[in-house]
Chain A
């Protein structure tokens, strides 16, 4: 009973909102008239933004009230205009002194060119009608029926009216589901925009990766230049001096040689530290598990490491995971004041999952700490996602997934599910039966009009059924063979397709 009451309440509220939308539609129409009729294009962005507020609200309600999550479909907002080296801002072939106009132009293009804007508009125009038909009409009917049965009507009609009211009430939750479907149809992103968003994100990630790699190389160059290289130069010079002194003052030469040896040791130490920062030797020698164990041994904290991996990820992925764990461990010691840390590395389907938990003070925030941002950037290059849960007072749990880190090794190793395998077996095993004896051969027999009915079962049937059944048998046999080919083919390609292509591309949404 309660669920129905809630459903009716939701339906009424959503219906009322849709009625308010009529005013919004009028306003939008007016704005469009101004934009396209009179060329007042500055009216367009505020209108589009108003519509977006409305649809954002509808998306939220569809998610929280109707239980159908509707993702936000818009293309990513354009980046703010950046000045050229000469300080001017460029937009297409025009130059501007301030970023105002390029920014405005970009925003305009962003809103105008985004199909989601127009889908939003379409939704807004149709929503009053759809909501009225789906939500308000049955409720009005039910209310009308109840009112009518109260007033004087023939006794025979009144139970009928009551029944109609009950049916309308029972239908409400289903109608709400239909309404949610309608919202999702127009308000969720199209496959195109999902792809566009993904391309733009990959672009950004690529930029960040190239950027951080370049700065890493610069750091290594600087370290080598100021460290080992400089020391080697100094050693060469000292050795020259030793050569000079050898005969005149052997004692001084010996002291200098001692210095050279010291310098070579220092150079080695610096090179070792540098190598550790680029690619830790244990990681190269033993892989992620042991590298993290070595890291744990060197840490001042009490660290427990559990590793459950049956394949070794690719080296770049391993390296990203290693340095992320290293950074998380450093954070736990430096900021969290933790004493115990547990690191869990496991495979999760194709993904590599790492969970780092410490008993520190908590309060870590990815938006504040540059360390966590660095980890996010590092992981983003591999589509990795970092999730940090860190309430004040601890404990802090950082989890990251690197999807497809282990996929290469396992691809296509999974066999066909049993149900599908049986279907494929039946198709191949029995496909000949309808196709040849009951289909093609029967057809030939029918055409030459033989008296021998023998095992051509169709020919025993009444005349008008014979041709349709022959055609049906032939097509049944053919489709069995086609299914026998397509099901296994789909199985191996589908998963690979599913990894790269958004769902439901074929519906165009």
Chain B
């Protein structure tokens, strides 16, 4: 069964491109809207399997899309939303993650260029997972660099941590780093031990634990 998706993007070309891209990858686009109020209405009425939302939307051209997505998630807890933006901010990432229910994505618009990875991220979010932009994670790690337990990680473990925080599964990480899945498993276990976190097999809960930890370390 194909996934039902709502798209919110104010630029016609990009909206059209997203529709074609997702349709080509076997999604069913149930609505493609261009403003915040329309988006909120579509999300509440249609209850899609996943929504792809631009942060900046009419009428105010501020963070209309983000606000609509957050409002919809307050009405329908755990509604999967993938937020796209021309720029990524830790502040917004925090707000999106704040309710702790997962099924959240936050990516730069550039990531759409790589169709494979983008569609993979949409599917992950639809399945209740997390997709954080590598740039958010990089900023998060850069600003926690002085924090002690993180300094104790080996470079390899750091790489694994970064990918894990982006929301990738062990299988995806092993593919990306050319490691065996069991080796990745060992690394994650070691990371969790060093950071004093409760290990979990569930990918999503694992990601949230890591992100919460990093956010807390920020102070």
Contacts and interface: CB of A to CB of B under 8 A. Distances in A.
B86 A281 contact: yes
B142 A282 contact: no
Interface string B30-59: 000000000000000000000000011000
Contacts of A272: 86-87
B139 to A, nearest CB: 6
A265 interface: yes
A285 B63 contact: yes
A293 B146 contact: no
A261 interface: yes
B62 A297 contact: no
B218 interface: yes
B113 A265 contact: yes
B90 A298 contact: yes
A88 to B, nearest CB: 52
B24 interface: no
Interface in A244-303: 261, 264-265, 268-269, 272, 275-276, 281-282, 284-286, 290, 293-294, 297-300, 302
Contacts of A282: 89, 91
B194 to A, nearest CB: 21
B219 interface: yes
B154 interface: no
Contacts of B55: 285
Contact of A300 (B63, B109, B145): B145
A298 B143 contact: yes
Given A298-B143, A300-B142, A300-B143, A268 B110 contact: yes
A276 B87 contact: yes
Contacts, number: 48
A294 B143 contact: no
A290 B91 CA distance: 8
Interface class of chain A by DSSP: helix
A294 B90 contact: yes
Nearest to B215: A297
A269 B88 CA distance: 11
A130 B122 CA distance: 89
Contacts of B89: 281-282, 294, 297
Contacts of B94: 297
B62 A286 contact: yes
B91 A294 contact: yes
Contacts of A276: 87
B143 A299 contact: yes
Nearest to A304: B219
Nearest to A271: B86
A297 B90 contact: yes
Nearest to B90: A297
Given A261-B113, A284-B62, A286-B62, A275 B90 contact: no
Interface residues of A, number: 22
Nearest to B93: A297
B142 to A, nearest CB: 7
A258 to B, nearest CB: 10
A297 B146 contact: no
A342 B91 CA distance: 17
B113 A264 contact: yes
Contacts of B218: 297
Contacts of B114: 261
Contacts of A261: 113-114
Interface string A322-346: 0000000000000000010000000
B63 A297 contact: no
Nearest to B109: A268
Nearest to B139: A298
A300 B146 contact: yes
A28 B143 CA distance: 68
Which of A261, A268, A285, A293 gathers the greatest number of chain B CB atoms within 10 Å? A285
Nearest to A272: B87
Interface string B110-152: 1001100000000000000000000000010011011000000
Given A261-B113, A265-B110, A268-B110, A293 B142 contact: no
A282 B109 CA distance: 16
Contacts of B62: 284-286
A302 B219 contact: yes
Contacts of A299: 143
A240 to B, nearest CB: 20
Contact of B87 (A264, A281, A290): A281
Contacts of A281: 56, 86-87, 89
Contacts of B145: 300
Contacts of B219: 302
A300 B55 CA distance: 26
Contacts of B113: 261, 264-265
A339 B91 CA distance: 21
A297 B216 CA distance: 11
A265 B109 CA distance: 10
B87 A297 contact: no
A80 B129 CA distance: 68
Contacts of A269: 110
Contacts of A298: 90, 139, 143
Interface of B: 55-56, 62-63, 86-87, 89-91, 94, 109-110, 113-114, 139, 142-143, 145-146, 218-219
20 contacts: A261-B114, A265-B110, A268-B109, A269-B110, A275-B87, A281-B56, A282-B89, A285-B56, A286-B63, A293-B91, A294-B91, A297-B91, A297-B218, A298-B90, A298-B139, A298-B143, A299-B143, A300-B142, A300-B145, A302-B219
Given A275-B87, A282-B91, 16 more contacts: A264-B113, A268-B110, A272-B87, A275-B86, A281-B86, A284-B62, A285-B55, A285-B56, A285-B62, A290-B91, A294-B90, A297-B89, A297-B90, A297-B94, A300-B145, A300-B146
